[in-house]
Amino acid sequence: MTRIAQISLHTSPLAPLGGRETGGMNVYVLELSRELAALGYEVDIFTRLDGDLPRVEEVAPNLRLVRIAAGPPEPMAKEEMAAYLPEFVQDMRAFVAEGEQPYAVYHSHYWQSGRAGELLAREARRPHVVMFHTLGEVKNRARISEEEPTFRIQHERAIAHHADAIITASDHERVLLERYYGADPRRMHTIPCGVDLELFSPRDRRASREALGLPAETPVLLWVGRLEKLKGVDILISAFAQLEVEGTTLLIVGGDERAGALRAELEAQAEALGVGGRVRFTGAVPHDALPTYYSAADVCVVPSYYESFGLVAVEAMACGTPVVASRVGGLVSTVDDGVTGYLIPWRCPEPFAEKLEVLLANPELRANFSRAARRSVERFRWRAIALRVAEVYDEVAEAYRPRGRREAGNGFGKEVYEAAVVAAGGRP
Protein backbone atom coordinates (compact mmCIF):
# COMPACT_ATOMS: atom_id res chain seq x y z
CA MET A 1 0.00 0.00 0.00
CA THR A 2 1.35 3.45 -0.95
CA ARG A 3 2.07 5.63 2.08
CA ILE A 4 1.68 9.42 2.04
CA ALA A 5 3.00 11.84 4.67
CA GLN A 6 0.87 14.98 5.01
CA ILE A 7 2.60 17.71 7.05
CA SER A 8 0.49 20.37 8.76
CA LEU A 9 2.95 21.64 11.35
CA HIS A 10 1.34 24.79 12.71
CA THR A 11 -2.27 23.64 13.01
CA SER A 12 -4.01 20.34 13.60
CA PRO A 13 -6.72 19.36 11.11
CA LEU A 14 -8.78 18.21 14.10
CA ALA A 15 -8.67 21.61 15.84
CA PRO A 16 -11.94 23.60 16.09
CA LEU A 17 -12.38 25.95 13.13
CA GLY A 18 -12.63 29.71 13.27
CA GLY A 19 -9.64 30.33 15.53
CA ARG A 20 -6.61 32.40 14.68
CA GLU A 21 -4.68 29.45 13.21
CA THR A 22 -7.61 27.37 11.95
CA GLY A 23 -9.57 27.72 8.75
CA GLY A 24 -9.80 26.43 5.22
CA MET A 25 -6.39 24.74 5.32
CA ASN A 26 -7.50 22.53 8.22
CA VAL A 27 -10.55 21.44 6.23
CA TYR A 28 -8.44 20.83 3.14
CA VAL A 29 -5.83 18.65 4.85
CA LEU A 30 -8.37 16.55 6.73
CA GLU A 31 -10.86 16.03 3.90
CA LEU A 32 -8.18 15.40 1.26
CA SER A 33 -6.55 12.84 3.56
CA ARG A 34 -9.88 11.14 4.27
CA GLU A 35 -10.56 10.79 0.57
CA LEU A 36 -7.05 9.55 -0.23
CA ALA A 37 -7.40 6.96 2.52
CA ALA A 38 -10.73 5.86 1.04
CA LEU A 39 -8.97 5.48 -2.32
CA GLY A 40 -6.55 3.02 -0.75
CA TYR A 41 -3.58 5.20 0.20
CA GLU A 42 -2.17 4.89 3.70
CA VAL A 43 -2.02 8.47 5.03
CA ASP A 44 -0.35 9.93 8.12
CA ILE A 45 -0.93 13.62 8.97
CA PHE A 46 1.90 15.12 11.03
CA THR A 47 1.18 18.13 13.26
CA ARG A 48 2.78 19.78 16.29
CA LEU A 49 1.85 18.34 19.68
CA ASP A 50 -0.40 20.79 21.51
CA GLY A 51 -1.78 19.57 24.82
CA ASP A 52 -2.01 16.24 26.63
CA LEU A 53 -3.01 14.22 23.57
CA PRO A 54 -1.98 10.80 22.21
CA ARG A 55 1.02 10.67 19.88
CA VAL A 56 -0.93 8.67 17.29
CA GLU A 57 -4.68 8.93 16.76
CA GLU A 58 -6.69 6.80 14.35
CA VAL A 59 -8.93 9.17 12.40
CA ALA A 60 -10.37 6.75 9.83
CA PRO A 61 -9.36 3.51 8.12
CA ASN A 62 -5.88 4.07 6.56
CA LEU A 63 -5.69 7.54 8.16
CA ARG A 64 -3.77 8.56 11.30
CA LEU A 65 -2.92 11.86 12.98
CA VAL A 66 0.63 11.88 14.37
CA ARG A 67 1.56 14.55 16.93
CA ILE A 68 5.18 15.66 16.86
CA ALA A 69 7.03 17.28 19.76
CA ALA A 70 8.25 20.79 18.91
CA GLY A 71 8.51 23.34 21.69
CA PRO A 72 6.16 23.53 24.69
CA PRO A 73 3.04 21.36 24.19
CA GLU A 74 0.71 24.33 24.44
CA PRO A 75 -1.00 26.76 22.08
CA MET A 76 1.30 29.25 20.38
CA ALA A 77 1.08 31.65 17.48
CA LYS A 78 2.37 30.22 14.23
CA GLU A 79 4.88 33.08 14.04
CA GLU A 80 6.64 31.60 17.09
CA MET A 81 6.94 28.12 15.64
CA ALA A 82 9.89 28.74 13.30
CA ALA A 83 12.20 28.54 16.30
CA TYR A 84 11.05 24.96 16.91
CA LEU A 85 11.38 23.67 13.35
CA PRO A 86 14.59 21.72 14.21
CA GLU A 87 12.77 19.91 17.02
CA PHE A 88 9.84 19.10 14.75
CA VAL A 89 12.14 17.70 12.07
CA GLN A 90 14.09 15.66 14.63
CA ASP A 91 11.02 14.09 16.23
CA MET A 92 9.29 13.43 12.91
CA ARG A 93 12.51 11.85 11.62
CA ALA A 94 12.52 9.53 14.64
CA PHE A 95 8.89 8.54 14.08
CA VAL A 96 9.47 7.84 10.39
CA ALA A 97 12.53 5.70 11.22
CA GLU A 98 10.34 3.47 13.39
CA GLY A 99 8.08 2.58 10.47
CA GLU A 100 8.53 -0.57 8.44
CA GLN A 101 7.60 1.00 5.09
CA PRO A 102 8.81 4.41 3.82
CA TYR A 103 6.53 7.17 2.63
CA ALA A 104 6.27 7.42 -1.14
CA VAL A 105 5.54 11.17 -1.11
CA TYR A 106 5.82 14.02 1.41
CA HIS A 107 3.06 16.63 0.97
CA SER A 108 3.56 19.84 2.97
CA HIS A 109 1.00 22.54 3.74
CA TYR A 110 2.07 26.16 4.45
CA TRP A 111 5.66 27.41 4.43
CA GLN A 112 6.79 26.06 7.81
CA SER A 113 5.60 22.58 6.93
CA GLY A 114 7.26 23.07 3.55
CA ARG A 115 10.60 23.68 5.22
CA ALA A 116 10.28 20.52 7.33
CA GLY A 117 8.97 18.49 4.40
CA GLU A 118 11.80 19.57 2.11
CA LEU A 119 14.44 18.49 4.62
CA LEU A 120 12.79 15.15 5.43
CA ALA A 121 12.00 14.29 1.81
CA ARG A 122 15.56 15.07 0.79
CA GLU A 123 16.95 12.81 3.52
CA ALA A 124 14.56 10.01 2.57
CA ARG A 125 15.21 10.52 -1.16
CA ARG A 126 11.51 10.84 -1.83
CA PRO A 127 9.58 13.52 -3.75
CA HIS A 128 8.25 16.62 -2.03
CA VAL A 129 4.89 18.18 -2.94
CA VAL A 130 3.89 21.52 -1.43
CA MET A 131 0.74 23.61 -1.18
CA PHE A 132 1.26 27.07 0.31
CA HIS A 133 -2.41 27.99 1.03
CA THR A 134 -1.31 31.62 1.59
CA LEU A 135 1.77 33.51 0.42
CA GLY A 136 3.62 36.13 2.47
CA GLU A 137 4.54 38.32 -0.49
CA VAL A 138 0.94 38.37 -1.73
CA LYS A 139 -0.46 39.20 1.72
CA ASN A 140 1.93 42.14 2.03
CA ARG A 141 0.88 43.45 -1.37
CA ALA A 142 -2.84 42.90 -0.70
CA ARG A 143 -2.98 45.19 2.34
CA ILE A 144 -0.46 47.89 3.19
CA SER A 145 -0.52 47.22 6.94
CA GLU A 146 0.33 43.52 6.54
CA GLU A 147 3.83 42.73 7.82
CA GLU A 148 4.70 39.16 6.85
CA PRO A 149 8.39 38.70 7.72
CA THR A 150 11.13 38.63 5.11
CA PHE A 151 12.41 35.24 6.29
CA ARG A 152 8.99 33.68 5.55
CA ILE A 153 9.08 34.98 1.99
CA GLN A 154 12.68 33.79 1.56
CA HIS A 155 11.67 30.30 2.65
CA GLU A 156 8.62 30.29 0.40
CA ARG A 157 10.79 31.27 -2.55
CA ALA A 158 13.32 28.50 -1.81
CA ILE A 159 10.61 25.89 -1.31
CA ALA A 160 8.89 26.95 -4.55
CA HIS A 161 12.15 26.60 -6.47
CA HIS A 162 12.98 23.13 -5.21
CA ALA A 163 9.77 21.22 -4.55
CA ASP A 164 9.10 18.42 -6.99
CA ALA A 165 5.53 19.67 -7.45
CA ILE A 166 3.46 22.65 -6.28
CA ILE A 167 -0.31 22.39 -6.00
CA THR A 168 -2.12 25.71 -6.43
CA ALA A 169 -5.79 26.23 -5.59
CA SER A 170 -6.43 28.57 -8.53
CA ASP A 171 -4.91 29.86 -11.74
CA HIS A 172 -4.47 33.20 -10.00
CA GLU A 173 -2.26 31.65 -7.32
CA ARG A 174 -0.26 29.90 -10.03
CA VAL A 175 0.39 33.24 -11.75
CA LEU A 176 1.45 34.86 -8.47
CA LEU A 177 3.90 32.07 -7.69
CA GLU A 178 5.46 32.46 -11.10
CA ARG A 179 5.51 36.27 -10.95
CA TYR A 180 6.69 36.91 -7.38
CA TYR A 181 8.51 33.68 -6.54
CA GLY A 182 9.94 32.57 -9.87
CA ALA A 183 8.28 29.14 -9.60
CA ASP A 184 8.61 26.85 -12.62
CA PRO A 185 5.15 26.57 -14.25
CA ARG A 186 6.02 23.05 -15.44
CA ARG A 187 6.01 21.87 -11.82
CA MET A 188 2.76 23.59 -10.84
CA HIS A 189 -0.59 21.80 -10.84
CA THR A 190 -3.77 23.83 -10.39
CA ILE A 191 -6.29 21.74 -8.44
CA PRO A 192 -9.05 23.55 -6.52
CA CYS A 193 -10.00 22.79 -2.95
CA GLY A 194 -12.93 20.47 -2.41
CA VAL A 195 -16.20 20.62 -0.53
CA ASP A 196 -18.32 17.92 1.11
CA LEU A 197 -21.46 18.24 -0.98
CA GLU A 198 -23.40 15.86 1.26
CA LEU A 199 -22.74 17.96 4.37
CA PHE A 200 -22.96 21.30 2.56
CA SER A 201 -26.33 21.21 0.85
CA PRO A 202 -29.44 23.39 0.99
CA ARG A 203 -31.49 23.05 4.17
CA ASP A 204 -34.88 24.40 5.12
CA ARG A 205 -34.49 28.12 5.65
CA ARG A 206 -37.16 28.52 8.32
CA ALA A 207 -35.91 25.51 10.33
CA SER A 208 -32.32 26.77 10.09
CA ARG A 209 -33.32 30.17 11.42
CA GLU A 210 -35.35 28.66 14.20
CA ALA A 211 -32.33 26.56 15.23
CA LEU A 212 -30.20 29.72 15.42
CA GLY A 213 -32.81 31.87 17.14
CA LEU A 214 -33.21 34.17 14.13
CA PRO A 215 -36.41 35.88 12.93
CA ALA A 216 -38.19 33.91 10.22
CA GLU A 217 -38.68 36.73 7.71
CA THR A 218 -36.17 39.56 8.25
CA PRO A 219 -33.05 39.61 6.01
CA VAL A 220 -29.88 37.90 7.28
CA LEU A 221 -26.33 38.47 6.05
CA LEU A 222 -23.51 36.11 6.97
CA TRP A 223 -19.72 36.29 7.29
CA VAL A 224 -17.64 33.19 8.16
CA GLY A 225 -13.92 32.79 8.76
CA ARG A 226 -10.90 33.55 10.91
CA LEU A 227 -11.28 36.94 12.55
CA GLU A 228 -8.32 38.89 11.16
CA LYS A 229 -7.97 42.23 9.40
CA LEU A 230 -7.12 40.69 6.04
CA LYS A 231 -10.66 39.30 5.92
CA GLY A 232 -12.20 42.78 5.57
CA VAL A 233 -14.89 42.50 8.25
CA ASP A 234 -14.62 46.24 8.89
CA ILE A 235 -15.61 46.88 5.27
CA LEU A 236 -18.64 44.64 5.70
CA ILE A 237 -19.80 46.38 8.89
CA SER A 238 -19.53 49.78 7.18
CA ALA A 239 -21.48 48.45 4.18
CA PHE A 240 -24.08 46.94 6.50
CA ALA A 241 -24.58 50.32 8.17
CA GLN A 242 -25.38 51.86 4.77
CA LEU A 243 -28.17 49.40 3.91
CA GLU A 244 -31.64 50.84 3.67
CA VAL A 245 -33.31 47.44 4.15
CA GLU A 246 -35.00 47.52 7.55
CA GLY A 247 -34.33 44.93 10.24
CA THR A 248 -31.39 43.18 8.57
CA THR A 249 -29.20 41.05 10.85
CA LEU A 250 -25.47 40.45 10.27
CA LEU A 251 -23.92 37.26 11.65
CA ILE A 252 -20.14 37.21 12.19
CA VAL A 253 -19.12 33.56 12.62
CA GLY A 254 -15.54 32.84 13.69
CA GLY A 255 -12.81 34.08 16.00
CA ASP A 256 -11.36 32.74 19.22
CA GLU A 257 -10.01 34.40 22.39
CA ARG A 258 -6.84 35.51 20.57
CA ALA A 259 -9.00 37.61 18.25
CA GLY A 260 -10.52 39.41 21.22
CA ALA A 261 -8.91 42.77 20.50
CA LEU A 262 -10.10 42.83 16.89
CA ARG A 263 -13.58 41.71 17.90
CA ALA A 264 -13.78 44.55 20.43
CA GLU A 265 -12.66 46.97 17.72
CA LEU A 266 -15.32 45.70 15.32
CA GLU A 267 -18.03 45.79 17.98
CA ALA A 268 -17.08 49.40 18.73
CA GLN A 269 -17.26 50.19 15.01
CA ALA A 270 -20.76 48.70 14.78
CA GLU A 271 -21.91 50.67 17.83
CA ALA A 272 -20.48 53.92 16.46
CA LEU A 273 -22.34 53.34 13.18
CA GLY A 274 -25.60 52.68 15.01
CA VAL A 275 -25.93 48.99 14.07
CA GLY A 276 -24.43 47.35 17.15
CA GLY A 277 -27.74 45.75 18.11
CA ARG A 278 -28.05 44.05 14.72
CA VAL A 279 -24.49 42.66 14.41
CA ARG A 280 -24.18 39.32 16.14
CA PHE A 281 -20.75 37.79 16.88
CA THR A 282 -21.07 34.04 17.45
CA GLY A 283 -17.40 33.07 17.82
CA ALA A 284 -16.15 29.85 16.27
CA VAL A 285 -18.65 27.06 15.60
CA PRO A 286 -18.13 23.40 14.65
CA HIS A 287 -17.60 22.83 10.94
CA ASP A 288 -20.62 20.54 10.67
CA ALA A 289 -22.81 23.34 12.09
CA LEU A 290 -21.96 25.75 9.28
CA PRO A 291 -24.59 24.46 6.79
CA THR A 292 -27.28 25.66 9.19
CA TYR A 293 -25.78 29.16 9.17
CA TYR A 294 -25.37 29.21 5.38
CA SER A 295 -28.94 27.99 4.86
CA ALA A 296 -30.35 30.57 7.30
CA ALA A 297 -28.67 33.46 5.47
CA ASP A 298 -29.98 35.37 2.46
CA VAL A 299 -26.45 36.29 1.34
CA CYS A 300 -22.94 35.27 2.40
CA VAL A 301 -20.38 38.10 2.19
CA VAL A 302 -16.64 37.53 1.61
CA PRO A 303 -14.99 40.99 1.62
CA SER A 304 -11.40 39.71 1.92
CA TYR A 305 -8.31 41.54 0.71
CA TYR A 306 -6.84 38.18 -0.34
CA GLU A 307 -8.11 34.60 -0.69
CA SER A 308 -6.02 31.89 -2.33
CA PHE A 309 -9.23 29.90 -2.97
CA GLY A 310 -12.22 31.09 -0.95
CA LEU A 311 -13.62 27.95 0.68
CA VAL A 312 -16.33 29.87 2.54
CA ALA A 313 -17.79 31.07 -0.75
CA VAL A 314 -17.88 27.53 -2.13
CA GLU A 315 -19.49 26.12 1.04
CA ALA A 316 -22.12 28.88 0.96
CA MET A 317 -22.93 28.23 -2.71
CA ALA A 318 -23.14 24.49 -2.02
CA CYS A 319 -25.91 25.37 0.45
CA GLY A 320 -27.63 27.45 -2.22
CA THR A 321 -26.66 30.81 -0.69
CA PRO A 322 -25.63 33.62 -3.07
CA VAL A 323 -22.26 35.26 -2.42
CA VAL A 324 -21.07 38.87 -2.59
CA ALA A 325 -17.28 38.77 -2.55
CA SER A 326 -14.15 40.73 -3.33
CA ARG A 327 -12.77 40.24 -6.81
CA VAL A 328 -9.49 38.80 -5.53
CA GLY A 329 -7.49 35.59 -5.81
CA GLY A 330 -9.35 32.31 -6.10
CA LEU A 331 -12.75 33.97 -5.62
CA VAL A 332 -12.56 35.01 -9.27
CA SER A 333 -12.64 31.35 -10.31
CA THR A 334 -15.27 30.20 -7.80
CA VAL A 335 -17.92 32.96 -7.86
CA ASP A 336 -19.55 33.53 -11.26
CA ASP A 337 -20.26 37.27 -11.28
CA GLY A 338 -23.92 37.97 -12.03
CA VAL A 339 -24.81 34.25 -11.96
CA THR A 340 -24.04 32.85 -8.49
CA GLY A 341 -23.33 36.16 -6.79
CA TYR A 342 -21.42 39.39 -7.31
CA LEU A 343 -17.70 40.17 -7.35
CA ILE A 344 -16.69 43.60 -6.07
CA PRO A 345 -13.47 45.05 -7.53
CA TRP A 346 -13.06 47.77 -4.87
CA ARG A 347 -12.26 47.31 -1.19
CA CYS A 348 -14.70 49.95 0.06
CA PRO A 349 -18.19 49.71 1.64
CA GLU A 350 -20.35 51.46 -0.98
CA PRO A 351 -20.21 48.86 -3.80
CA PHE A 352 -20.78 46.05 -1.31
CA ALA A 353 -23.82 47.87 0.10
CA GLU A 354 -25.17 48.45 -3.42
CA LYS A 355 -25.05 44.78 -4.44
CA LEU A 356 -26.36 43.60 -1.09
CA GLU A 357 -29.38 45.89 -1.44
CA VAL A 358 -30.02 44.56 -4.96
CA LEU A 359 -30.08 40.98 -3.71
CA LEU A 360 -32.06 41.65 -0.54
CA ALA A 361 -34.71 43.55 -2.49
CA ASN A 362 -35.14 40.84 -5.16
CA PRO A 363 -36.18 37.41 -3.85
CA GLU A 364 -36.59 36.04 -7.38
CA LEU A 365 -33.02 37.07 -8.26
CA ARG A 366 -31.76 35.43 -5.06
CA ALA A 367 -33.63 32.24 -5.97
CA ASN A 368 -32.04 32.20 -9.44
CA PHE A 369 -28.58 32.77 -7.95
CA SER A 370 -29.25 30.03 -5.38
CA ARG A 371 -30.05 27.40 -8.01
CA ALA A 372 -27.05 28.37 -10.12
CA ALA A 373 -24.78 28.41 -7.07
CA ARG A 374 -25.53 24.81 -6.12
CA ARG A 375 -24.98 23.61 -9.70
CA SER A 376 -21.69 25.50 -9.96
CA VAL A 377 -19.99 23.63 -7.12
CA GLU A 378 -20.45 20.07 -8.40
CA ARG A 379 -16.91 20.27 -9.81
CA PHE A 380 -15.54 20.59 -6.25
CA ARG A 381 -16.55 17.13 -5.01
CA TRP A 382 -13.78 15.74 -2.82
CA ARG A 383 -13.48 12.45 -4.69
CA ALA A 384 -12.73 14.28 -7.94
CA ILE A 385 -10.22 16.56 -6.20
CA ALA A 386 -8.46 13.68 -4.44
CA LEU A 387 -8.11 11.74 -7.68
CA ARG A 388 -6.37 14.71 -9.28
CA VAL A 389 -4.01 15.11 -6.32
CA ALA A 390 -3.30 11.36 -6.43
CA GLU A 391 -2.30 11.75 -10.08
CA VAL A 392 0.31 14.32 -9.01
CA TYR A 393 1.63 11.94 -6.33
CA ASP A 394 1.88 9.09 -8.81
CA GLU A 395 3.58 11.33 -11.38
CA VAL A 396 6.30 12.63 -9.06
CA ALA A 397 6.85 9.21 -7.49
CA GLU A 398 7.30 7.63 -10.91
CA ALA A 399 9.56 10.38 -12.22
CA TYR A 400 11.67 10.75 -9.10
CA ARG A 401 15.28 9.60 -9.28
CA PRO A 402 17.23 9.22 -5.99
CA ARG A 403 20.44 10.49 -7.58
CA GLY A 404 18.79 13.66 -8.86
CA ARG A 405 19.23 17.22 -7.79
CA ARG A 406 18.82 16.56 -4.08
CA GLU A 407 22.10 14.62 -3.85
CA ALA A 408 23.89 17.24 -5.88
CA GLY A 409 22.64 19.94 -3.49
CA ASN A 410 19.73 22.18 -4.29
CA GLY A 411 20.77 25.41 -2.62
CA PHE A 412 18.06 25.08 0.04
CA GLY A 413 20.69 24.93 2.69
CA LYS A 414 21.50 25.24 6.33
CA GLU A 415 22.32 28.96 6.12
CA VAL A 416 18.81 30.00 5.01
CA TYR A 417 17.23 27.74 7.61
CA GLU A 418 19.34 29.07 10.47
CA ALA A 419 18.70 32.66 9.40
CA ALA A 420 14.95 32.04 9.64
CA VAL A 421 15.23 30.51 13.08
CA VAL A 422 17.38 33.37 14.39
CA ALA A 423 14.98 35.94 12.91
CA ALA A 424 12.13 34.21 14.74
CA GLY A 425 13.94 34.58 18.05
CA GLY A 426 15.33 31.07 18.36
CA ARG A 427 18.75 29.52 17.98
CA PRO A 428 19.81 27.35 15.01
Tell me: do 45 and 61 sit in the same domain: yes
Total of domains in the chain: 2
Does 184 fall in a domain? yes
Tell me: do 370 and 407 sit in the same domain: no
Does 428 fall in a domain? no
For 371-417, the pLDDT digits (tens) are 999 999 999 999 999 999 999 999 999 887 554 444 333 433 444 44
Q: Span 71-78, mean pLDDT?
A: 86
Tell me: do 400 and 278 sit in the same domain: no
Tell me: do 270 and 404 sit in the same domain: no
Residue 41 has pLDDT above 90, yes or no: yes
Tell me: do 150 and 188 sit in the same domain: yes
Tell me: do 297 and 343 sit in the same domain: yes
Does 200 fall in a domain? no
Cα→Cα distances 165→131, 307, 320, 400, Å:
9, 21, 34, 11
Q: Span 28-38, mean pLDDT?
A: 96
Tell me: do 302 and 416 sit in the same domain: no
For 76-92, the pLDDT digits (tens) are 887 888 889 999 999 99
Does 371 fall in a domain? yes
Tell me: do 143 and 183 sit in the same domain: yes
For 353-381, the pLDDT digits (tens) are 999 999 999 999 999 999 999 999 999 99
Tell me: do 189 and 322 sit in the same domain: no
> pLDDT at position 23, please?
67
CATH number where 232 lies? 3.40.50.2000
Tell me: do 401 and 276 sit in the same domain: no
> pLDDT at position 14, please?
83
Does 199 fall in a domain? no
Which residue range(s) make up the domain with 103? 3-194+382-423
Tell me: do 277 and 351 sit in the same domain: yes
pLDDT band at 226 (very low <50, low <70, confident <90, very high): confident
Does 69 fall in a domain? yes
For 251-267, the pLDDT digits (tens) are 999 987 778 899 999 99
Does 53 fall in a domain? yes
Does 101 fall in a domain? yes
Tell me: do 261 and 367 sit in the same domain: yes
